[in-house]
């Protein structure tokens, strides 16, 4: 059975996330930037993870996640997202407050605790930010989503997730009333800078930059 330290889990999760962004091989510099640490420290950690066979690592050639590593990473992500649901739904945390707490809770090793947590929450499929929660076997039920800025004028849909889950961005969405589940329609797009005029829930009009809209994911309807 694979046993990783909390630090090793953090690195494995970072490598997995980077590999999901379309990178066939993840570089040491990519990981260094993601983890905000020096490349030398990254190399030391990658050697440890390679010894535990959760990644394939060759110096100067980059990193790939093994099948065992993928399964392990998905279980870390599952725990993280279940804890986020618990914090928001049961402890009344705001969605911009849960990430750092869940980062600590995700390292709890008890499988029975996570199983009971999942049952207690009613087997949620998505976390408070709209990200899918892997099941106990690592299967992920994703749904088709488009960045809001890619919708055409008069297109509409429902906000189902965000790409940027930073606290500052989530607080901004709270401020303007662009929440998960909101119904939206694109009223206009400005040719000059790509900014959008959005109708929310058929009653509120918002003006939104292209960068903000690119970080809001919509289920088109």
| 198 beta partners | 186, 206
- Give the integer Cα–Cα distance in Å for 91 and 70: 30
pLDDT at residue 9, rounded to an integer: 96
pLDDT at residue 84, rounded to an integer: 97
Whole-model pTM: value is: 0.88
Domains of the chain, by residue range, sit at: 6-65, 146-220
Which residues of the chain carry a pLDDT beneath 50?
Answer: none
pLDDT tens for 76-89 read 999 999 999 999 99
pLDDT at residue 187, rounded to an integer: 97
pLDDT at residue 221, rounded to an integer: 84
pLDDT tens for 212-221 read 999 999 999 8
pLDDT at residue 23, rounded to an integer: 67
- Sheet of 216-220: strand order equals 146-147, 216-220, 156-162, 183-189, 196-200, 204-208
Domain 6-65 has CATH 3.40.1000.10: no
The domain defined by 146-220 folds into: SH3 type barrels. (2.30.30)
């Amino acid at each position: 059975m694979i046993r990783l330290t909390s630090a090793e889990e953090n690195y494995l999760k970072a490598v997995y996330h980077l590999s999901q962004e379309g990178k066939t091989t993840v570089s040491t510099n990519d990981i260094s930037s993601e983890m905000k640490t020096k490349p030398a420290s990254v190399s030391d950690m990658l050697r440890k993870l390679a010894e535990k066979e959760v990644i394939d690592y060759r110096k100067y050639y980059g990193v790939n996640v093994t099948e065992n590593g993928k399964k392990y990473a998905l279980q870390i992500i599952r725990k993280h997202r279940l804890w986020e649901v618990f914090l928001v739904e049961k402890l009344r945390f705001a969605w911009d407050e849960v990430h750092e707490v869940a980062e600590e809770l995700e390292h709890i090793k008890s499988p029975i605790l996570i199983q009971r947590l999942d049952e207690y929450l009613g087997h949620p499929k998505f976390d408070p930010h709209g990200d899918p929660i892997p099941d106990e076997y690592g299967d992920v039920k994703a749904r088709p989503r488009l960045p809001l800025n890619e919708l055409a004028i008069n297109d509409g849909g429902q906000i189902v997730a965000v790409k940027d889950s930073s606290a500052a961005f989530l607080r901004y969405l709270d401020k303007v009333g662009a929440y998960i589940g909101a119904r939206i329609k694109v009223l206009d797009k400005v040719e000059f800078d790509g900014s959008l005029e959005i109708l929310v829930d058929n009653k509120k009009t918002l003006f939104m930059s292209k960068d903000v809209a690119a970080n809001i994911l919509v289920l088109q309807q």
